């Protein structure tokens, strides 16, 4: 049941008064440890800046990035688009290569398994595969879905999605009805039990409470974590970035004392664990976008209601050309290639005429009789989207991909990105990449636009920023 946001927040203890980020930065820098984020889609870069993203994970590539001085690196697995068995194989492979690269370079590392802030993804499969690939035993698994920029808060072990002045328990949102990753419980202890198919009882799941965080501070958090053992799952409650700072300070203390944890988190944890300070949002001047002869390209694959509302607002922008890629045609026998060719031809004509072009998949969600077949339909549609991008004959002025799996496939396959740099965010929770030199169009501004982030006009605002029509100076 929805609760009034301010009414619930008013019942909580006040935030911990001390700014802990400077101390976290000293501990992170002093450790010399690399933070490696295995991201199941590219939207997890939505809180960081000036960090590399890899789309391949050979041992040589990992050795090279471990040798670099930076603290954080992302590895884009795109495992949310894969069946569980393949996701586990990919995770084990990365973990084994990472362990070998660490031994070769002498650089230590910790791993974050970054996934969706609304609890969709291959949990616990990926966490189990990570431990297997690393050949390590962990004292516990920390579940941290807090994502401030998207209004994802955990209070009294219940995960909420903020919608205006209201907080909706996550299991009551459309995200919980996902055809592949649906769930029934908003109470995260019950959610863990559900995902473990009852093998873990809710009462056996630990938690770091907001009383621990806000009243006891880092010392209380470290004490709570010191009692987590034998692979126990532990929920972390958090409402603000200061809560995250307290959590990380206590976590680093516990780890310095020999405790070892694997993290299953959303994006906000990554910034604090890496000691990154907040940074202002990027402006058109930062992005150096100029309107050339070619239009910009927007690809919308995410089908959720929020994405559709944002897409419809973007369609109303002056000069926008909108083209639908019919999912029904893609699934119809003998029509797939013709539909891809039809949309590709129209995209090329529109871009060549200097028009910003929005190509989107049909809005009616088509699913199969089970999770595997639904995932297969999604993979086919995503492959068609990639084919449209591959058929673009000249570089767009910029490119936006809307939806996690969509943006991953477009980056790794359509743009052939092996490495990109995260510049920052132009709107809260919406990361901007610059493609690497090996990519199809080097140096392109590429916007990874999550399906579940932003208000009704966010996509239109992003396009206006890239057009240079709107200045943005609000702190993130």
For residue 41, the model assigns a pLDDT of 84
Q: Where are the domains of the chain?
A: 3-273, 284-467
- Given 3.60.70.12, 2.10.25.10, 3.90.650.10, 3.40.50.10840, which CATH number is that of 3-273? 3.40.50.10840
For residue 286, the model assigns a pLDDT of 87
**How far is it, in rounded angstroms, from Cα 58 to Cα 55?**
10
For residue 289, the model assigns a pLDDT of 58
**pTM confidence score:** 0.91
Q: Which fold has domain 284-467?
A: Molybdenum Cofactor Biosythetic Enzyme; Chain A (3.40.980)
- Answer for the pair 240, 15: CB distance below 8 angstroms, yes or no: yes
For residue 380, the model assigns a pLDDT of 86
DSSP secondary structure of 82-141: S-HHHHHHHHHHHHHHHHHHHHHHT--EEEEEE--TTS-S-TTHHHHHHHHHHT---SEE
The helix or strand, by DSSP H or E, that contains position 158, with its residue range, turns out to be strand 158-163
Residue 322: other Cβ atoms inside 10 A: 18
| pLDDT less than 70: residues of the chain | 288-292, 363, 366, 470-476
Burial (Cβ within 10 Å: 0-12, 13-18, ≥19) of residue 327: buried
For residue 367, the model assigns a pLDDT of 73
For residue 473, the model assigns a pLDDT of 44
Sheet holding 152-155, edge to edge: 3-4, 166-169, 158-163, 152-155
**How far is it, in rounded angstroms, from Cα 456 to Cα 250?**
38
**How far is it, in rounded angstroms, from Cα 269 to Cα 35?**
12
């Amino acid at each position: 049941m929805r609760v009034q946001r301010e009414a619930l927040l008013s019942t909580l203890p006040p935030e911990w008064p001390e700014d802990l980020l400077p101390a976290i930065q000293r501990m992170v820098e002093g450790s010399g440890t690399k933070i490696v984020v295995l991201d199941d889609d590219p939207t997890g870069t939505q809180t960081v800046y000036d960090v590399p993203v890899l789309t391949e994970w050979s041992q040589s590539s990992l050795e090279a990035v471990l040798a670099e001085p930076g603290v954080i690196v992302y590895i884009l697995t795109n495992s949310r688009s894969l069946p569980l068995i393949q996701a586990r194989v990919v995770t084990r492979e990365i973990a084994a290569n990472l362990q070998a690269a660490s031994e070769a370079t002498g650089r230590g590392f910790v791993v974050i398994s970054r996934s969706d802030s609304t609890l969709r993804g291959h949990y616990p499969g990926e966490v189990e595969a990570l431990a297997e690939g690393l050949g390590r035993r962990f004292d516990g698994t920390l579940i941290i879905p807090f994502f401030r920029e998207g209004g994802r808060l955990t209070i009294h072990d219940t995960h909420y999605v903020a919608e205006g002045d209201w907080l909706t328990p996550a299991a009551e949102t459309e995200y919980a009805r996902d055809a592949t990753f649906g769930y029934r419980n908003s109470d995260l202890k019950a959610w863990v039990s559900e995902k473990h198919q009852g093998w873990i009882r809710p009462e056996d799941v630990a938690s770091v409470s907001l009383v621990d965080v806000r009243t006891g501070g880092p010392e209380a958090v470290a004490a709570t974590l010191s009692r987590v053992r034998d692979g126990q799952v532990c929920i972390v409650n958090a409402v603000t970035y200061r809560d995250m700072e307290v959590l990380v300070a206590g976590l680093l203390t516990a780890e310095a004392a020999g405790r070892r944890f694997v993290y299953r988190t959303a994006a906000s944890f990554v910034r604090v664990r890496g000691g990154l300070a907040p940074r202002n949002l990027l402006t058109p001047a930062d992005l150096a976008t100029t309107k050339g002869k070619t239009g910009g390209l927007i690809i919308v694959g995410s089908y959720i209601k929020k994405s559709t509302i944002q897409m419809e607002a973007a369609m109303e922008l002056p000069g926008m050309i909108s083209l639908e890629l019919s999912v029904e045609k893609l699934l119809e026998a003998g029509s797939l290639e013709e539909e891809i060719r039809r949309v590709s031809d129209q995209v090329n004509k529109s871009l060549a005429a200097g028009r910003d072009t929005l190509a989107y998949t049909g809005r009616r969600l088509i699913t199969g009789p089970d999770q595997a077949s639904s995932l297969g339909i999604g993979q086919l549609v995503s492959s068609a989207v990639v084919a449209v991008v591959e058929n673009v004959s000249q570089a767009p002025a910029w490119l936006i991909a809307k939806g996690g799996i969509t943006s991953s496939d477009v980056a790794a396959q359509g743009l052939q990105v092996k490495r990109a740099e995260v510049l920052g965010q132009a709107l809260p929770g919406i990361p901007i990449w610059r493609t690497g030199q090996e990519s199809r169009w080097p140096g392109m501004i590429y916007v990874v636009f999550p399906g579940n982030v932003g208000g009704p006009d966010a996509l239109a605002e992003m396009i206006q920023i890239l057009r240079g029509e709107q200045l943005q100076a609000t702190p993130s």
